[in-house]
Amino acid sequence: MAEVLVSWIFIAITSYVTGFEICSLLTGLLAGRRQVGYDDGRNEGDAFMRSLKAAAHPNVLICLIGLCAVNVYAQIVSLLTGVGMWADYILMFLCLIIVCADRSRIGKALDIGHSLWKRPVKGIIYVILILLMAYGTSRGYMHFDTNLYHAQAIRWVEEFGVTPGLANIQSRFGYNSAVFTLNALYGFKWFLGRSLHTSAGFFALLSSFVAAGICDGDERADTDTDFARRIRISDYVRLGLIFYLGLIYSGMISPSSDYYAQLLLFDIVIIWIDVKKDEEDDLRMAYYGILCLLIVYAITIKLSLAPLILLSLIPGVCWIRRKNYRSILTCVISGLVVAVPHLIRGYILSGWILYPSVAVSIGAPDWRLPKGMAEYDAKEIGMWGRGITRAEDWDKVTALNWIPGYVASLSPMEKVWLTAAIISVVYIAVITVRRLLQRSYGRDTALMDILCIGAVVWFIKAPLIRYGHVYIIMIPTLTLGYVTQRLYEGDQSGIWKRTRLMTFTVLALFIGGLKAKGLISDVMRTIDEPYYVNQQDYIDGEAFEYTVDGTVFYVAEDSGQIGYYKFPSTVEERHDFHLRGEDISDGFCHAE
């Protein structure tokens, strides 16, 4: 646990410092006349410093942008060499330069002492959250896929950076989630002799800070006694976030891409909704542009979130109407900076740009995974999502015949969320049609529509429930918040005010009580485990050996549960690949 806290200090410093400079630069480029350093004569500092007042959870937003930047840096390093000691040293050196050059503005933005002294209760809550999330990150259940390939993928990054044709020895290595390089950077294997996996817990910590802002997002929070007025649409989404945090608490020790992507999406939507509506529109669009950059980052973590890139249309259409080409160009270039290193890594790992999709093909490198194998892998993902374990049964599956078995396999709570999500999607579709006919279509409706599109694509392509938790939880809570807000705003009798208050209170008590019970159970179950100093390590699974081109490979004896230390490994004994060169660092080719 102590190890987790120390690693989080390093993650927090590096992500905040880099994120601060990038947010400052992007705000100046996207907000028109509000250039960095601009001062209006009111002695309020430059535009970026003032603009922080308009954003919800500005320090969390800065850290998220920083994590995106650090992750891109780690991917670029991986294209050149292994991600280890020198990558960390260079990152520390760059952050030191930034702090020395911009320490005054960074200090003002943090303003930690002032905030905690002004609101000590909130400070205590943050301390409790830090300790609680550090405890959960120090021990727990390793995700099945972590022992199957996550840990091995991270080690490949630590040892060699990116390896041509790595997907030939196990197709899952071709999935190429960006967070594998982030874990390699923050694993500190070069110092500890073993690799930490604390960054998923740090993402969860940032999300817990966002959730802690419930009913507490503006200047009225300390003085307004009308609790119904303090409830915002985003607070309903926060309740959904609290539910999801409780769901993954015992598993966030694993560097599973699902956790990073879905937590990031919760944070993006909440911050998006909470950007102050009375702020100048150019600054609001600047924040939306920055959040769209985080959407691109989320897609490099989990490709299935690709439909959500449609969110960029919201600021994009506004900029097109205003002929604000600089902002458009800034977003396009920033998005490419985030995406291109990821795409290059994917191409080197599998020979395909967007593996397992074979829709985009460039050249025919000798390390390319055969097209048939990639297509089979894509089918297998879709079949597993439907609860069917044999991709060979693809031809037997129709549009609807898999649904009864799929629904039957869900837990009672998952059935409730899925039902609520379906009802919400239908309601949003009706509202959208009505607003289009009335020509009153707005940005809030667009946000809900795009989330619904993402949910529909998820359900059609690969509806494995853990891939879609964010959709089935967020869409109903967002819709409920939207409906109660609309009814409350038009209420003349006070009935809907009481209804809104009661609805929110009941939902909060239900989710809070349910997750508090689960949290206590998780803590008590692991309280005697010896992880108060060191973090629980990856497993070292039992395995047998076999040889390919003189190189020893390991195969786990327990359903592929190999872990980190038996390296390199394959899921089963295979002889359909060979080394491209003299050793494994040169990569692998498929054997014809």
Residue 44 has pLDDT above 50, yes or no: no
Q: What is the mean pLDDT of residues 484-504?
A: 76
CA distance 381 to 379: 5
Helix H or strand E segment including 577: strand 577-579
Residue 462 has pLDDT above 90, yes or no: no
Q: What is the mean pLDDT of residues 48-70?
A: 82
User: pLDDT band at residue 412, thresholds of 50, 70 and 90?
Assistant: very high
Q: Kindly write down the DSSP assignment for every residue of 124-182, as one continuous string.
A: HHHHHHHHHHHHHHHS-PPPHHIIIIIHHHHHHHHHHSS-TTGGGT-GGGGG--THHHH
Q: What is the mean pLDDT of residues 264-283?
A: 83
Q: What is the pLDDT of residue 279?
A: 57
How does pLDDT run across 198-208, given as a tens digit for each residue?
999 999 999 99
Q: What is the pLDDT of residue 470?
A: 93
Q: Which residue has the higher pLDDT, 402 or 547?
A: 547
CA distance 468 to 567: 32
How does pLDDT run across 316-362, given as a tens digit for each residue?
998 999 898 999 999 999 999 999 999 999 999 999 999 988 888 88
Residue 250 has pLDDT above 90, yes or no: yes
CA distance 196 to 187: 4
Q: What is the pLDDT of residue 42?
A: 40
Residue 37 has pLDDT above 50, yes or no: no
Q: Which residue has the higher pLDDT, 102 or 348?
A: 348
Residue 218 has pLDDT above 70, yes or no: no
Residue 14 has pLDDT above 80, yes or no: yes
User: pLDDT band at residue 115, thresholds of 50, 70 and 90?
Assistant: low
Q: Kindly write down the DSSP assignment for every residue of 486-538, as one continuous string.
A: HHHHT-SSSHHHHHHHHHHHHHHHHHHHHHHHHHHHHHHHHTTSS-SSSPPPP
> Interior CA angle at 88 toward 193 and 145, to 5°?
60
Percentage of the chain lying above the pLDDT 90 cut:
65
CA distance 244 to 414: 12
What SS3 string covers 249-270?
A: HHHCCCCCHHHHHHHHHHHHHH
Helices (H), ranges, 83-119: 85-110, 112-118
Q: What is the CA radius of gyration of the chain?
A: 24
CA distance 329 to 320: 11
pTM given for the model: 0.94
Residue 36 has pLDDT above 50, yes or no: no
3-state helix, strand, coil in the chain (%, to 5): 65, 5, 30
CA distance 489 to 483: 10
Residue 588 has pLDDT above 90, yes or no: yes
User: pLDDT band at residue 95, thresholds of 50, 70 and 90?
Assistant: very high
Residue 219 has pLDDT above 80, yes or no: no
Residue 116 has pLDDT above 90, yes or no: no
CA distance 2 to 131: 10
Residue 544 has pLDDT above 60, yes or no: yes
Q: Average pLDDT over the chain, rounded to whole?
A: 88
Q: What is the pLDDT of residue 46?
A: 58
Q: What is the pLDDT of residue 418?
A: 95
CA distance 7 to 413: 35
User: pLDDT band at residue 400, thresholds of 50, 70 and 90?
Assistant: confident
